[in-house]
Structure 1
Amino acid sequence: MTGAIPLLQVFDMPTSIHFYRDMLGFEVYQHSPEVETTEGRFFHWCWLRNGAVELMLNTAYDSNERPPVPDAARWAGHSDVSLSLGCADADAVYAELTAKGMALEPPRTSPHGPRELSLRDPDGYDLCFRS
């Protein structure tokens, strides 16, 4: 094996792209063709990169099939998923994200040593920045 790239199902791709690209600094490395739907114009799948971290996003619904609001039972399961992201300085990540307007609890030192900053993405996945 040479690596792993998590694939996350998302409710609203434009919201997720804003979060990962504009807030967390990921670049959209590749994506499927854009589609025009009743939900708007977007692509259904993308591959994101930020340094050595790679992540893929895929819409949970096909074009014109997304319900008006997320199904609470389906999305509640995302709270069990946590992505651990290495970073140079969790406190610097905290400062950068709060400067962008994110309301976050400050990083803490975990019982096993690293500084950790935990937050949730728009779909409820836990992201833990560790330094």
Structure 2
Amino acid sequence: MRLRYTTLVVDDYDAAITFFVDVLGFELVEDSPATTSTTGAAKRWVVVRPPGADTGLLLARADGERQRAAVGDQFAGRVGHFLEVDDAAAEYERLVALGVEFEGPPRVEAYGTVAVFRDVAGNRWDLLSGP
């Protein structure tokens, strides 16, 4: 058993792809036309993932008011995703140079070095590297 995808609701497919692929360095695994199961409206099946990872993010464009309200607050203000890198301090510098919004510089905790950033929708992520 394994976790294949987790969904991230976004306002715009292309802006989200640009952020995850061009800024964070994820791979675009799939970008295919699809339709909604409820209304049959056109949508896209968009999956991105870190290089070499098995689990991907399904980028889902918000459909309806309830989903639009969740964009950027899918985890009720908590950190919802944890992106592990070899060197959090170096990756922090790279991402800041690309305009990624961080809540502060990396800090050392018992579990490793961590810095909190926001994705294209405003959700909070931990950028972390081992102790």
Normalising by the residue count of structure 1, what TM-score does the alignment of the two structures yield? 0.73
1:121: which partner in 2? 119
Measured after TM superposition, the shift of residue 54 of structure 1 is: 2.3
Relative to structure 1, the CA distance from residue 77 to residue 48 in structure 2 (aligned partners, 3 Å threshold; closer, same or farther) is closer
Is 1:56 aligned with 2:58? yes
> SS in structure 2 opposite 1:31?
strand
Contact 1:45–1:59 (CA<8 Å) still a contact in 2? no
Distance 2:74 2:22 in 1: 25
In structure 2, the residue matched to 1:16 is 16
Name structure 1 gaps, 5 residues minimum: 35-42
- CA RMSD, aligned part only? 2.6
- Which residue does 1:89 correspond to in 2? 87
Identity %: 31
2-structure distance, mates of 1:25, 1:102: 13
Structure 2 gap segments, 5+ residues each? 35-42
C-alpha distance in 2, partners of 1:84/1:101? 19
What is the correspondence of 1:35-54 to structure 2 with a 5 Å cutoff?
A: 44-51=44-51, 52=53, 54=56
Query: Displacement, 1:14?
Result: 1.6
Amino acid at match of 2:6: P
Q: Structure 2 vs 1, CA of residues 9 and 102 (structure 1 numbering), >3 Å: closer, same or farther? A: closer
User: Aligned pairs, how many?
Assistant: 116
User: What amino acid maps onto 2:80 in structure 1?
Assistant: S
Helix, strand or coil at the partner of 1:32: strand
Change beyond 3 A, Cα 1:5–1:23:
same
Structure 2 length normalisation: TM-score? 0.73
CA distance in 2, matches of 1:56, 1:126: 17
**Counterpart of 1:3 in structure 2: which amino acid?**
L
